[in-house]
Amino acid sequence: RETTHLLRASVAAVRPDCVDVSVQGKDVGRLRRLAGRPGRDKGGGPRTTFRLDRDETSNGTGLLLQNLVNFFTLDIPSFSVESAGAKTPSLTADTDRSARRRRMQSSITRLDPPPRFRDVAEDDLFGPPSSSSPFPADLPPGCDPETLRREYAALNVDQRAAVLRVASAEDFALVQGLPGTGKSATVSFAARLLVSRGKRVLLSSYTHSAVDNLMCKLLDGGMRGTPTGGAAPPLSPVVRIGRESSCHPRVRPVIAENLAVELERGAVGPSSSSDRAVDRPSVDRL
């Protein structure tokens, strides 16, 4: 019968013949008992096998919970032992951003004030953003109005209503639906529509798979690299932030570091001997 023992630890060092781990004080005795079981030495019977797995769930959940706490406690000044009795900057400072955060917090949690929406007709979604500002001259592939108009007509009634709500929102819009009802398709289409109207869109989630699912839909919608007209590689209209090991293989070419490498190679040139610029790319170029 196999027995599994779970311990949370941090890898302190990796050597050719061993791995050093650091555990909490309450787990030291338990780890020593496991490591000292009979059979660990050669010729002593079955060996005790240890397996190390990266714990990404606790870190991601902790960050998510901390963000929620920060959002719901904006009106509570931050406190630390060092700042006791001293005036320190807080999220409640009287700035335009702080006022907007407080308004958003109250609007989301208490609907007071309610979120604001503009009057936007369906035909207006595919016209210029305003009479004084035409469409951006460098629209990415997959974001041209005629393509979006055809795809919009193929959406169902609820999806079209959600897209219209997102496009007309001045504060925020919530799209809710059961699994399989087309939320991801709606969000990816809305993102492309906003880009066609000159907006920059940030897609975020607390799971890598959710972000990659949306990224794949954007790529399937045509948002791929556009030629630069020179020796430099095509520019990508989408950028994925994250570690390559955590991303879907389809989106790895558009990871920020990989895009920076390609840009550096194009800037340095194939015949240049300056390879260090490629080994340490500057993501700021994106």
Other beta carbons within 10 angstroms of residue 255's beta carbon come to 20
Residues 18-76: tens digit of each pLDDT: 888 888 888 888 877 777 755 445 555 566 777 777 776 665 667 777 777 777 776 66
Q: Which residues have a Cβ under 8 Å from the Cβ of 73 and sit 6 or more positions away?
A: none
Which of 127-131, 242-246, 275-279 shows the lowest mean pLDDT across its residues?
Answer: 275-279
d(CA 248, CA 226): 22
The answer to whether the beta carbons of residues 286 and 263 sit under 8 Å apart is yes
Tabulate helix, strand, coil % of the chain (nearest 5).
45, 5, 50
Q: What is the DSSP letter of 144?
A: -
Give the pLDDT band of residue 12 (cuts 50, 70, 90). Answer: confident
Inform me whether the pLDDT recorded for 273 exceeds 50.
no
Higher-pLDDT residue of 133 and 1 is 133
pLDDT of 152 reads 95
SS3 annotation, 46-100: CCCCCCCCCCHHHHHHHHHHHHHHHHHCCCCCCCCCCCCCCCCCCCCCCCHHHHH
Residues 205-231: tens digit of each pLDDT: 878 888 999 999 999 998 876 544 444
Q: In whole numbers, what is the pLDDT of the chain averaged over residues?
A: 77
Give the pLDDT band of residue 245 (cuts 50, 70, 90). Answer: confident
Inform me whether the pLDDT recorded for 97 exceeds 50.
yes
The answer to whether the beta carbons of residues 239 and 256 sit under 8 Å apart is yes
Inform me whether the pLDDT recorded for 93 exceeds 60.
no
pLDDT of 34 reads 76
Inform me whether the pLDDT recorded for 11 exceeds 70.
yes
| Exposure letters 263-286 (e unless 16+ CB within 10 A, then b) | bbbebeeeeeeeeeebeebeeeee
pLDDT of 183 reads 93
Higher-pLDDT residue of 179 and 286 is 179
Q: What is the DSSP letter of 107?
A: H
Where are the extended beta strands (E) located within 98-169? none
Which residue, among 216, 221, 210, has the nearest Cα to 139 in the 3D structure? Answer: 221
Which of 22-31, 56-65, 103-112, 119-128 shows the lowest mean pLDDT across its residues?
Answer: 56-65
Q: Find tokens 């990224």 and name the residue.
A: 215
pLDDT of 156 reads 94
**In the chain, % of residues over pLDDT 90:** 23
pLDDT of 33 reads 79
Residues 133-186: tens digit of each pLDDT: 666 667 888 888 899 999 999 999 999 999 999 999 998 999 998 988 999 999
Mean pLDDT calculated for residue range 102-108: 84
Mean pLDDT calculated for residue range 191-218: 90
Q: Using N-to-C axis directions, what is the helix angle for 183-196 and 145-154, rounded to 10°?
A: 160
Q: What is the DSSP string of 195-249?
A: HHTT-------SSHHHHHHHHHHHHHTT---B--SSSSPPBPS--B-S-GGGS-G
